[in-house]
């Protein structure tokens, strides 16, 4: 029986081990944020944010709630008061946005405002696309963060 040199075996094992790690890394941390119908990404206070752990859209009576969770633990919730394309105001009471992080909860302040733009809504499939731009404040101490959100989410049954 032929003898295999240990250096060849060790080299082969290392090569295979490295290839598997790269494949796992690609599965865990994709290069893009979400996929069509399941995407929420934003710039929050100048930093990139992606709902790369979970995206969900739920709708009822012509309204929707979009929720995205990032692997870093941050959560973004967007309330959409009317499911039709167009530009609408964001305020504390209408089309509101909530962002949570390790720092706490950021909400639209009483005197705050922003813009929600719904660019596409397909009632049959539930696919909703758009953007939101709003200033949020940390509850309690008033730290401000500007949020620029884009989304492409399929909402559940109406």
Q: Give the pLDDT confidence score for residue 17 in this predicted structure.
A: 52
Using alpha carbons only, give the angle 102, 106, 107 rounded to the nearest 5 degrees: 160
> Cβ(45)–Cβ(149) under 8 Å?
no
Q: What is the pLDDT of residues 41-99, one digit of tens each?
A: 999 999 999 999 999 999 999 999 999 999 988 999 999 999 999 999 999 999 999 99
**pLDDT category, 31, cuts 50, 70, 90?**
confident
The structure's pTM equals 0.79
- Concatenating the DSSP letter of every residue in 38-107 gives EEEEEEETTEEEE--SEEEEEEETTEEEEEEE-TTS-EEEEEES--SSEEEEE-SSSS-EEEEETTEEEE
Q: What is the pLDDT of residues 121-135, one digit of tens each?
A: 999 999 999 999 999
* Stronger pLDDT, 1 or 142, i.e. the higher one: 142
Q: Give the pLDDT confidence score for residue 18 in this predicted structure.
A: 52
Percent of the chain with pLDDT over 70: 79
Cα–Cα dist 101/92, whole Å: 19
Cα–Cα dist 51/35, whole Å: 10
Q: Average pLDDT, stretch 15-21?
A: 50
Three-state DSSP state, 35: strand
**pLDDT category, 6, cuts 50, 70, 90?**
low
Please give the mean pLDDT across all residues of the chain.
Answer: 86
DSSP state of 33: S
Kindly tell me if the per-residue pLDDT of 20 is higher than 50.
no
Cα distance from N-terminal residue to C-terminal residue, the chain: 70
């Amino acid at each position: 029986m032929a003898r295999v040199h240990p250096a060849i075996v060790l080299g082969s094992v290392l090569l295979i081990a490295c290839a598997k790690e790269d494949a796992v890394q690609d599965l865990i941390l994709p290069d893009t944020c979400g996929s069509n119908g399941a995407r929420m990404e934003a710039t929050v206070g100048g930093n990139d944010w992606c709902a790369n752990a979970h995206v969900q859209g739920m709708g009822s009576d012509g309204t929707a709630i979009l929720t995205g969770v990032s692997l870093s633990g941050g959560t973004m919730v967007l309330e959409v008061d009317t499911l039709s394309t167009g530009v609408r105001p964001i305020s504390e009471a209408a089309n509101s946005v909530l962002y949570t992080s390790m720092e706490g909860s950021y909400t639209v302040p009483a005197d705050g405002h922003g813009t929600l733009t719904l660019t596409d809504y397909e009632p049959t499939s539930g696919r909703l696309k758009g953007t939101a731009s709003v200033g949020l404040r940390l509850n309690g101490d008033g730290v401000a963060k500007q949020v620029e959100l884009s989304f492409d989410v399929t909402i559940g049954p109406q």
